[in-house]
Amino acid sequence: MRVAISSTGKNLENEIDTRFGRCHYFFIVEVEKKEIKNARAIENTAMMQGGGAGITAAQIVGNESVNAVIGINFGPRAFGVLRQLEIEMYQGVQGTVKKNVQLYIEGKLTKLTGATGPMGMEPKQ
DSSP assignment of 44-88 equals: -TTTT-SS-HHHHHHHHHHTTT-SEEEESB--HHHHHHHHHTT-E
Whole-number pLDDT of residue 122: 40
Q: What are the per-10-residue average pLDDT scores of the chain (125 residues)? A: 97 95 96 93 91 93 97 94 97 97 97 78 40
Return left, alpha or beta for 55; rule: phi > 0 is left, psi -120 to 50 is alpha, else beta: alpha
The dihedral sign for the CA sequence 114, 30, 58, 53: positive
Q: Give the chain's largest Cα–Cα span.
A: 40
CATH, range 2-111 = 3.30.420.130
SS3 98: helix
> What's this model's pTM, rounded to 2 decimal places?
0.90
Whole-number pLDDT of residue 118: 64
Helices 53-62 & 76-84, crossing angle to 10 degrees? 30
- The Cα–Cα gap between 81 and 59 comes to 7
Number of Cβ atoms within 10 Å of the Cβ of 80:
16
Please check whether residue 17 is in contact with residue 8, taking contact to mean a CB–CB distance below 8 angstroms. yes
Q: Within 13 Å and on the Cβ side, how many CA atoms surround 97? A: 25
